[in-house]
């Protein structure tokens, strides 16, 4: 909702969109963007009419951050729907205030009540941008119709390495016609080019409406930087003038933090992994499987060491410690890659994730084996995974009786995506941890890279019953059609 004031050219203009994220029991982070030096201000009310409202003064929008700003809200009541209004007050002409844009979010409850959230990943990949003649990014509209308490984006928020051209030829001979901007016409190599990728997605009416009404939690995967990247990599890619992934990833990290409502860690503003408590029934653990990994390799080392790092020692210790301390009924780990699906660099055996070959744990799998053993030894119940990355939806059950490594409590991994990208898969399994395919949302003969308009775009939903704690997990397609569902009772 937009409230227009006068057309005074000295007033700041709101650009791109607004969104709420990283909600807690008593607050949230609000993001917005303007066109000049200005002070962000946010009014918050439990009443949509704003008869009574609290005003928060937020960050300053300045040229070095491309006039992005955030406001940290606190002191709110838990378990409520809150309405907010964003505006910017000019720093060049104080008192000249922008139009007002309105949104809403829900604070986490402190009592045992129903909680419903959705997750997915993979937005604007493979050159599939906004084709308004084909309905735009329709999966976002389908998620909004579910009215979730919040949404988890499991990575590939953008595709910085996939230029969005004016048109893209499809297998049937037709053309995908993109809404195009200069900022997405090449691979991203500068801080501004990474920012432009985030701005582009908000040009879609479904995306912008979604973010005004649903709070989000974001993590990254690879395409926020470049396909299959790892720290220290030097690119051999003619599209890039800048070959250092270490530099590109820092531009990408800063753009991600600036252009999303992510709550910065006070001790390390670069840190992406974090824990979210959303009521007595749910703790959500969001991982970073990129920043601390060793170089991609065949991934078949027999002993743990620097070459097998995936989550990294510090993050792995944090995860174990917080899982052990969690009192929530369900501990859901949001990973940016699946555990047991083989993903390799194209045309090679170089492992991109932790899976490698059948047999006992090797390479990066050694970290996962240690984590699963920690969960079993600590008798930590009701731990399951959500993820995206592979561009199709599936439900995997990890069964120690069918695994090569057996020292773990059985668990589920629910895969979703893409939100708006080419569809691929299915990927083969590595049997180390005994994954069993219970459901997949695509046919075996699907043409790789199928366009979004074919309908193989997906999101998942978790619904926790407040009374008995039962967890219902569902897969939906981009039309909102229920494809598969299961219910889990807490142990």
Q: What's the DSSP call for residue 161?
A: T
Distance CA 249, CA 38 (A): 28
Within 10 A of 290 (CB to CB), how many other CB atoms are there?
Answer: 23
Residue ranges of domains in the chain = 2-106, 115-488
Q: How big is the chain by its Cα radius of gyration, in Å?
A: 22
Within 10 A of 145 (CB to CB), how many other CB atoms are there?
Answer: 11
| Cβ 415 vs Cβ 134: under 8 Å | no
Residue-wise pLDDT tens digits, 283-342: 999 999 999 999 999 999 999 999 999 999 999 999 999 999 999 999 999 999 999 999
| Cβ 342 vs Cβ 429: under 8 Å | yes
Q: What's the DSSP call for residue 6?
A: -
pLDDT band at 148 (very low <50, low <70, confident <90, very high): very high
CA distances to 322, 343, 390, 415 from 338, rounded to whole Å, are: 21, 9, 8, 7
- Residue with the bigger pLDDT between 9 and 89: it is 89
Asked if pLDDT for residue 5 goes beyond 80, the answer is no
Q: According to the model, what pLDDT value does residue 7 have?
A: 65
Q: Which residues of 455-484 are buried (b: 16+ CB within 10 A; e: fewer)?
A: ebbbbbbbbbbeeebebebbbbbbeeeeeb
Residue that the structure tokens 């670069």 belong to: 270
Do 115-488 and 2-106 have the same topology in CATH?
no
Dihedral (Cα; 72, 77, 79, 84), 10-degree rounding: -50
Residue-wise pLDDT tens digits, 397-423: 999 999 999 999 999 999 999 999 999
pLDDT band at 194 (very low <50, low <70, confident <90, very high): very high
Q: According to the model, what pLDDT value does residue 9 have?
A: 83
Q: Which residues contact 383 (CB under 8 A, 6 or more apart)?
A: 323, 331, 332, 333, 375, 409, 411
Q: According to the model, what pLDDT value does residue 347 have?
A: 86
Q: According to the model, what pLDDT value does residue 322 have?
A: 99
Percent of the chain with pLDDT over 70: 99
Asked if pLDDT for residue 4 goes beyond 90, the answer is no
Asked if pLDDT for residue 477 goes beyond 70, the answer is yes
pLDDT band at 429 (very low <50, low <70, confident <90, very high): very high
Distance CA 199, CA 257 (A): 13
pTM for the structure as a whole: 0.97
Q: According to the model, what pLDDT value does residue 86 have?
A: 98
| Cβ 356 vs Cβ 307: under 8 Å | no
Asked if pLDDT for residue 1 goes beyond 70, the answer is no
Q: According to the model, what pLDDT value does residue 346 have?
A: 87
CATH assignment of 115-488, given 2.40.170.20, 3.20.20.70, 3.40.50.1820, 3.60.21.70? 3.60.21.70
Superfamily of 2-106 according to CATH = Purple acid phosphatase-like, N-terminal (2.60.40.380)
Burial of 92 (0-12, 13-18, 19+ CB in 10 A): exposed
Mean predicted confidence (pLDDT) in 446-455: 97
| Residue-level length of the chain | 491
Distance CA 359, CA 357 (A): 6
Residue-wise pLDDT tens digits, 367-399: 999 999 999 999 999 999 999 999 999 999 999
Within 10 A of 33 (CB to CB), how many other CB atoms are there?
Answer: 26
Tokens of 186: 């090449």
Q: Which residues contact 48 (CB under 8 A, 6 or more apart)?
A: 83, 104
Tokens of 163: 């230029």
Q: What's the DSSP call for residue 192?
A: H
pLDDT band at 480 (very low <50, low <70, confident <90, very high): very high
Distance CA 434, CA 420 (A): 30
């Amino acid at each position: 909702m937009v409230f227009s004031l006068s057309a005074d050219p000295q007033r700041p203009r709101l650009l791109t969109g607004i969104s709420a994220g990283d909600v807690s029991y008593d607050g949230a982070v609000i993001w917005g963007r303007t066109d000049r030096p200005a002070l962000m201000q946010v009014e918050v009310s439990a009443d949509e009419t704003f008869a009574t409202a609290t005003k928060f003064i937020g960050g300053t929008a300045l040229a070095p951050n491309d006039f992005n700003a955030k406001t940290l809200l606190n002191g709110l009541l838990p378990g409520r729907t809150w309405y907010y209004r964003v505006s910017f007050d000019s720093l060049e002409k104080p008192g000249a205030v922008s139009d007002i844009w309105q949104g809403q979010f829900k604070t986490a409850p402190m009592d045992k009540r129903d909680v419903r959230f959705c997750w997915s990943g993979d937005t604007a990949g493979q050159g599939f941008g906004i084709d308004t003649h084909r309905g735009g990014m329709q999966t976002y509209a389908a998620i909004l119709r579910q009215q979730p308490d919040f949404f988890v984006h499991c990575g590939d928020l953008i595709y910085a390495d996939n230029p969005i051209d004016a048109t893209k030829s499809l297998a049937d001979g037709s053309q995908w016609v993109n809404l195009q901007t200069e900022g997405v016409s090449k691979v991203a190599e500068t801080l501004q080019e990474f920012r432009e990728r985030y701005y582009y997605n908000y040009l879609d009416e479904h995306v912008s409406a979604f973010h005004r009404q649903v709070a989000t939690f974001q993590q990254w995967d690879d395409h926020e930087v470049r396909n299959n990247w790892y720290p220290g990599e030097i690119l051999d890619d003619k599209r890039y003038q800048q070959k250092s992934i270490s530099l590109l990833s820092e531009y990408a990290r800063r753009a991600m933090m600036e252009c999303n409502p992510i709550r910065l860690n006070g001790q390390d503003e670069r840190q992406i992994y974090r824990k979210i408590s959303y009521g007595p029934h749910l703790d959500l653990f969001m991982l970073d499987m990129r920043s601390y990994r060793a170089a991609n390799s065949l991934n078949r080392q027999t002993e743990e060491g620097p070459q097998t790092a995936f989550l990294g020692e510090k993050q792995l210790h944090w995860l174990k410690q917080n899982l052990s301390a969690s009192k929530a009924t369900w501990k859901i780990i949001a990973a940016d890659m699946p555990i047991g699906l083989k993903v390799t660099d194209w045309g090679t055996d170089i492992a991109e994730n932790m899976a490698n070959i059948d047999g006992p744990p090797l390479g990066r799998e050694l970290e996962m084996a240690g984590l699963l053993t920690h969960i079993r030894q600590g008798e930590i119940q009701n731990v399951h995974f959500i993820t995206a990355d592979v561009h199709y939806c599936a439900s995997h059950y990890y069964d120690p009786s069918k695994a090569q490594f057996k020292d773990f409590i059985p668990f589920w991994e629910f895969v979703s995506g893409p939100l708006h990208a080419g569809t691929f898969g299915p990927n083969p399994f590595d049997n180390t941890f005994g994954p069993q395919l219970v459901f997949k949302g695509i046919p075996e003969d699907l043409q790789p890279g199928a366009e979004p308009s074919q309908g193989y775009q997906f999101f998942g939903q978790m619904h926790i019953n407040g009374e008995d704690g039962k967890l219902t997990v569902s897969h939906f397609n981009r039309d909102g059609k229920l494809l598969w569902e299961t219910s889990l009772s807490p142990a």
